[in-house]
Copies of this chain bind each other. A is one copy, B any other.
Amino acid sequence: MSVRTPDPTPEPDLPGDSNPGWLSDMELEQIRRRLPLLYVEAVPVRVDGVGVVTEVGVLLRATALGEMTRTLVSGRVMYGETIRDALFRHLEKDLGPMAFPLLPASPVPFQVAEYFPLPGLSPYSDDRQHAVSLAYVVPVTGTCEPRQDALEITWMTPEEASSDAVAAEMEGGRGTLLRAALASVGRLR
């Protein structure tokens, strides 16, 4: 299975596409073998009235080879972009404009996931690049309608989300990240 950190291709539909800060595909390809790239990731959740996580959202995506794989909201931080803005942009990209995510007041992630091209150095791998991802749990209050290449968002109970079956379907080792997310909110058994 071709595992990869999901990344919009071509580069994102942002104002300022001609900004020299944005990279052509070829430039990005070269840099990917020279520098660790900075990513943000989000685990979308639904919470009850006192903040307990009741459901976890996992994206279903088709790879270039037509295989189905599960993943999290994820994407690159652009030059000049704050982490919060990147997080919001990727949440909107992957969950649609009506998800109404509640970004955390604290910029400290629940986990830092290090993706290496070769597996084994960490629980996470990405055959395209060395990426370092700041991962956040993000409650969403609206309606999620995946756009772009995400086919569907599946809402699971914390128990389902932490199962071995789900972990096996998640790309790049993100089953581990999902469990760490659940542990951070006290919902991993």
- Docked-complex contact B37 and A35, CB < 8 angstroms: yes
- Check A77 against B36 for contact (C-beta < 8 Å): yes
Is A3 in contact with chain B by the CB < 8 A criterion? no
Quote the shortest CB–CB distance from A101 to chain B (angstroms): 9
When A33-B21, A50-B84 are in contact, do A184 and B185 touch as well, CB less than 8 Å? Answer: no
Q: Is the interface of A mostly helix, strand, loop or mixed?
A: loop
Find chain B residues with CB under 8 A from A81 CB. 36
Partner of A189, one of B87, B123, B189: B123
| Contacting pair A132 B34 (CB below 8 A) | no
A83, B114: Cβ atoms closer than 8 Å = yes
* Total interface residues in chain A, CB < 8 Å: 60
Chain B residue, CB-CB nearest to A19:
B34
User: A183: CB under 8 A from chain B?
Assistant: yes
User: How far, in whole Å, are A81 and B31 apart by their CA atoms in the complex?
Assistant: 15
What is the CB-to-nearest-CB distance from A56 to chain B, in angstroms, rounded to a whole number?
Answer: 11
